Amino acid sequence: MKRPFVTLEQLREMTVQYPTPFHLYDEKGIRENARKLKEAFAWNPGFKEYFAVKATPNPAILKILREEGCGADCSSLTELMMSDRCGFTGPEIMFSSNDTPAEDFKLAAKLGATINLDDFTHIDFLKETIGFIPETISCRFNPGGVFTIGESTEGFQVMDNPGDSKYGFTREQIFEGFKKLKAMGAKRFGIHAFLASNTLSNDYYPTLAGILFRLAVELERETGCDICFINLSGGVGVPYKPDQPANDIAAIGEGVRRQFEEILAPAGMGDVAIYTELGRFMLAPNGCLVTKVLHFKHTYKEYVGVDACAANLMRPAMYGAYHHITVMGKEDAPCDHKYDVTGGLCENNDKFAIDRMLPEVEQGDLLVIHDTGAHGFSMGYNYNGKLRSAEVLLQEDGSTRLIRRAETPEDYFATMIFD
Ligand SMILES: *Cc1c(COP(=O)(O)O)cnc(C)c1O
């Protein structure tokens, strides 16, 4: 059973100050989770998590994670700017982008970020753009073919099978790429791969690590490049459904350690650092969307209309993703009513839940939509002129802090040209 990290009483107090809908984050949960991850990889002295900024691009969240020892994984110009403004410097920033514009590479280089190249042709493009090849450089690997592991929801929309996905160097290209980069002055090398999204399996990272560790040994032997880090990227998932088992990050860290000791250590590569770029695992369960019931509609189905919509949380509309819903104050009431929970967009897929069994819902009830802390607010948009909501932080002492104000109509009109 899924329990919200917040009580009805706390929410009632919050809604006096912050009108619904808003995204709420749990500082305590975020810190505890970050510490568990660090603990799981403590066997690797160089370990670092680079939080995927795109999952939750909020300065307060980034600063909390930085305090917990995390770096920032950026994929665009504004994410680089944000990380810089939040105090991340040089090698605390990973730049894992694809189809990269020149200005993004320029800023990444200026900030001293570690650049992770998505394609062989980007080697020359980077050289032309910034005038040199950085001494530390990383390449994204795509093994091709089919990759399956455990359960991976939404996996195909986000990642596809490696053979059909747009990311990364082929095996041949990465060997050529490393030789070329070395000849152009690179000294410290990294390998990155992201093969499946939202995996619910303690085997995803260990399996990926096995693939990358073997590749690293071959690459170092054949090219003579000094491989300093291996980046397992994102993809460790969270259980969105109440009956799904959660990943055990300690077991995952242990699984990667076993691969490390089997493959890298005997090859004399025991000093390689392990990096991760988790987004969802770090934040999803530590955020929720708080929304109020506005209307009921009884037609061919029973509809509950809330004041949030897909512009606040796109995942159900885009992926058919399940997000658990708690009717606050009725946590223990029987779920004996069937509803579609909808937002107000002129899109029939603007439904947070379809045929969901819930306790009887009343007008004015507060609903918590669970696990929206990653790829929630950040995927928001302004369709139908809907305004982006506020983001609120539930701090460790139980008090709340506004960490992003809600958009106003003035914000919405700011880029429009009326004359
Ligand atoms: C999206 C992304 C991540 C984070 O993925 P999660 O599924 O949220 O863990 C990490 N690295 C890169 C390059 C990404 O694009």
CATH number for 86: 3.20.20.10
27: pLDDT strictly greater than 90: yes
pLDDT of res. 51: 98
When divided into structural domains, the chain yields a total of 2
CA 207 – ligand 1 centroid, Å: 17
**Domain co-membership, 67 together with 213:** yes
**Domain co-membership, 100 together with 218:** yes
CB 197 near ligand 1, within 6 Å: yes
Q: Would you say residue 86 lies in a domain? A: yes
* Predicted model pTM: 0.96
44: pLDDT strictly greater than 70: yes
**Domain co-membership, 83 together with 45:** yes
Q: Which ligand 1 atom minimizes the distance to the CA of 280?
A: 8
133-162 tens-digit pLDDT: 999 999 999 999 988 876 555 544 456 689
356: pLDDT strictly greater than 70: yes
Three-class DSSP labels, the chain: CCCCCCCHHHHHHHHHHCCCCEEEEEHHHHHHHHHHHHHHCCCCCCCEEEEEHHHCCCHHHHHHHHHCCCEEEECCHHHHHHHHHCCCCHHHEEEECCCCCHHHHHHHHHHCCEEEECCCHHHHHHHHHHCCCCCEEEEEECCCCCCCCCEECCHHHHCCCHHHCCCCECHHHHHHHHHHHHHCCCCEEEEECCCCCCEECCCHHHHHHHHHHHHHHHHHHHHCCEEEEEECCCCECCCCCCCCCCCCHHHHHHHHHHHHHHHHHHHCCCCCEEEECCCHHHHHHHEEEEEEEEEEEECCCEEEEECCCCCCCCHHHHHCCCCCEEECCCCCCCCCEEEEEECCCCCCCCEEEEEEEECCCCCCCEEEECCCCCCCHHHCCCHHHCCCCEEEEECCCCCEEEEECCCCHHHHHCCCCCC
pLDDT of res. 152: 54
Domain boundary residue, one of 282, 306, 324: 282
Q: Would you say residue 23 lies in a domain? A: no
In this prediction, what percent of the chain has a pLDDT beyond 90?
Answer: 95
pLDDT of res. 254: 98
pLDDT of res. 374: 98
**Domain co-membership, 349 together with 362:** yes
CA 415 – ligand 1 centroid, Å: 30
380: pLDDT strictly greater than 80: yes
pLDDT of res. 164: 87
Mean pLDDT along residues 232-245: 96
Range of the domain at 370: 285-413
278: pLDDT strictly greater than 80: yes
Mean pLDDT along residues 342-361: 97
Q: Which ligand 1 atom minimizes the distance to the CA of 281?
A: 9
Domain boundary residue, one of 259, 282, 305: 282
pLDDT of res. 158: 55
Q: Which ligand 1 atom minimizes the distance to the CA of 279?
A: 8
CA 192 – ligand 1 centroid, Å: 11
**Domain co-membership, 186 together with 198:** yes
CA 78 – ligand 1 centroid, Å: 16
CA 153 – ligand 1 centroid, Å: 14
CA 381 – ligand 1 centroid, Å: 20
pLDDT of res. 156: 46
Measuring from atom 13 of ligand 1, which residue has the nearest CA? 96
CB 54 near ligand 1, within 6 Å: yes
Q: Would you say residue 243 lies in a domain? A: yes
Q: Which ligand 1 atom minimizes the distance to the CA of 375?
A: 8
86 Cβ contact list (under 8 Å, min separation 6): 59, 62, 63, 66, 72
321: pLDDT strictly greater than 80: yes
**Domain co-membership, 85 together with 137:** yes
**Domain co-membership, 259 together with 310:** no
CB 56 near ligand 1, within 6 Å: no
**Domain co-membership, 289 together with 266:** no
Q: Which of 51, 201, 233, 375 best tests ligand 1's pocket when mutated (most atoms within 8 Å of CB)? A: 233
**Domain co-membership, 39 together with 182:** yes
CATH number for 370: 2.40.37.10
Q: Would you say residue 5 lies in a domain? A: no
**Domain co-membership, 341 together with 243:** no
Measuring from atom 9 of ligand 1, which residue has the nearest CA? 234
251: pLDDT strictly greater than 50: yes
Domain boundary residue, one of 214, 247, 282: 282
CB 73 near ligand 1, within 6 Å: yes
